[in-house]
Copies of this chain bind each other. A is one copy, B any other.
Amino acid sequence: MDVVARLTRALPGKVETTPDVLERYRRDRSGRVADGVPLAVVRATSVDDVQTACRIASATGTPLVSRGAGTGLAGGGIAGAGEIVLSTTGMTRVLEISPANQYAVVEPGILNGDLNRRLQEHGLWWPPDPASKDISTVGGNIAMNAGGLLCAKYGVTREAVLALKVVLADGRLISLGHKSVKGVTGYDLCALMIGSEGTLGVIVECTLKLRPVVTGTVVTIGAFFDSVELAATAAAGITAAGLQPAIMEILDRRTLECVSRFTGSDLISRGDSYFLVQCDGPASVQESSSVLDIITSAGGTAEQTTDPAESERLVDVRRQGFPALEAMGTMLVEDVAVPRENMVAVFRKIAELEGKYALMIPTACHAGDGNLHPSFVFQGDTVPEEVWHAAEELFTFVLTLGGTLSGEHGIGVLKRRWLRAELGDDQFDIQRQIKAVFDPQNILNRGKVFEP
- How long is the Cα–Cα vector from A369 to B102 in the complex, in angstroms? 10
Check A212/B371 contact, CB under 8 A, given A100-B340, A174-B426, A337-B178. Answer: no
The yes or no answer to A297 lying at the interface (CB within 8 A) is: no
A155's nearest neighbour on chain B, judged by CB, is B159
Residue-wise interface mask of A (403-426) relative to B, using a CB-CB cutoff of 8 A (1 in contact, 0 not):
111111111000100010011101
A74's nearest neighbour on chain B, judged by CB, is B184
Chain B residues near A152 (CB-CB < 8 A): 181
Query: Residue among A101, A182, A242, A437 with the most chain B CB within 10 A?
Result: A182
Query: Which of A80-88, A191-199, A268-276, A378-386 is near enough to bind chain B?
Result: A191-199
Chain B residues near A368 (CB-CB < 8 A): 181
Is A175's CB under 8 angstroms from B424's CB?
Answer: yes
The yes or no answer to A431 lying at the interface (CB within 8 A) is: yes
Query: Residue among A176, A423, A438 with the most chain B CB within 10 A?
Result: A423
The yes or no answer to A109 lying at the interface (CB within 8 A) is: no
For the complex formed, measure the closest distance between the CB of A199 and the CB atoms of chain B, giving whole angstroms. 8
Query: Which of A62-70, A143-151, A313-321 is near enough to bind chain B?
Result: A143-151
Is A174's CB under 8 angstroms from B370's CB?
Answer: no
For the complex formed, measure the closest distance between the CB of A243 and the CB atoms of chain B, giving whole angstroms. 8
Is B339's CB under 8 angstroms from A98's CB?
Answer: yes
Chain B residues near A185 (CB-CB < 8 A): 404-406, 411, 415, 419, 422-423
Residue-wise interface mask of A (367-407) relative to B, using a CB-CB cutoff of 8 A (1 in contact, 0 not):
01111000000000000000000000000000000111111
Within 8 A of B (CB), among A321-352: 337-341
Is B370's CB under 8 angstroms from A181's CB?
Answer: yes
**Chain A residue total in the interface (Cβ 8 A):** 90
Chain B residues near A158 (CB-CB < 8 A): 188, 191
Check A179/B339 contact, CB under 8 A, given A99-B240, A195-B188, A410-B184. Answer: yes
The yes or no answer to A263 lying at the interface (CB within 8 A) is: no
Is A369's CB under 8 angstroms from B407's CB?
Answer: no
Is B176's CB under 8 angstroms from A427's CB?
Answer: yes
Is A184's CB under 8 angstroms from B407's CB?
Answer: yes
Chain B residues near A434 (CB-CB < 8 A): 187, 189, 434, 437
Identify A191's interface contact among B192, B215, B409, B424, CB under 8 A.
B192
Identify A212's interface contact among B244, B286, B437, B449, CB under 8 A.
B244
Is A341's CB under 8 angstroms from B100's CB?
Answer: yes
Chain B residues near A286 (CB-CB < 8 A): 282
Is B411's CB under 8 angstroms from A186's CB?
Answer: yes
Is A184's CB under 8 angstroms from B406's CB?
Answer: yes
Is A427's CB under 8 angstroms from B175's CB?
Answer: yes
The yes or no answer to A358 lying at the interface (CB within 8 A) is: no
Is B430's CB under 8 angstroms from A174's CB?
Answer: yes
Is A408's CB under 8 angstroms from B182's CB?
Answer: yes
The yes or no answer to A172 lying at the interface (CB within 8 A) is: yes
Is B449's CB under 8 angstroms from A186's CB?
Answer: yes
Is A184's CB under 8 angstroms from B422's CB?
Answer: no
Is B180's CB under 8 angstroms from A369's CB?
Answer: yes
Is A403's CB under 8 angstroms from B339's CB?
Answer: no
For the complex formed, measure the closest distance between the CB of A428 and the CB atoms of chain B, giving whole angstroms. 8
The yes or no answer to A239 lying at the interface (CB within 8 A) is: yes
Residue-wise interface mask of A (276-300) relative to B, using a CB-CB cutoff of 8 A (1 in contact, 0 not):
0000011100110000000000000
Is B102's CB under 8 angstroms from A239's CB?
Answer: yes
Identify A144's interface contact among B175, B184, B194, CB under 8 A.
B184
Check A180/B337 contact, CB under 8 A, given A186-B419, A188-B158. Answer: yes
Is A404's CB under 8 angstroms from B174's CB?
Answer: no
Chain B residues near A156 (CB-CB < 8 A): 182
Check A168/B100 contact, CB under 8 A, given A180-B370, A184-B145, A192-B187. Answer: no
8 additional A-B residue pairs with CB within 8 Å, beyond A182-B371, A191-B192: A174-B426, A178-B337, A179-B339, A180-B338, A183-B407, A189-B427, A212-B243, A282-B283
Interchain residue pairs A-B with the least CB separation, the first 3: A212-B242, A282-B283, A191-B191
Between-chain CB contacts (< 8 Å), 23 pairs: A100-B339, A144-B184, A151-B181, A158-B191, A178-B337, A178-B403, A179-B339, A180-B369, A180-B371, A180-B402, A182-B366, A183-B337, A184-B406, A184-B410, A185-B411, A185-B415, A185-B423, A186-B428, A213-B242, A215-B242, A282-B283, A433-B437, A437-B437
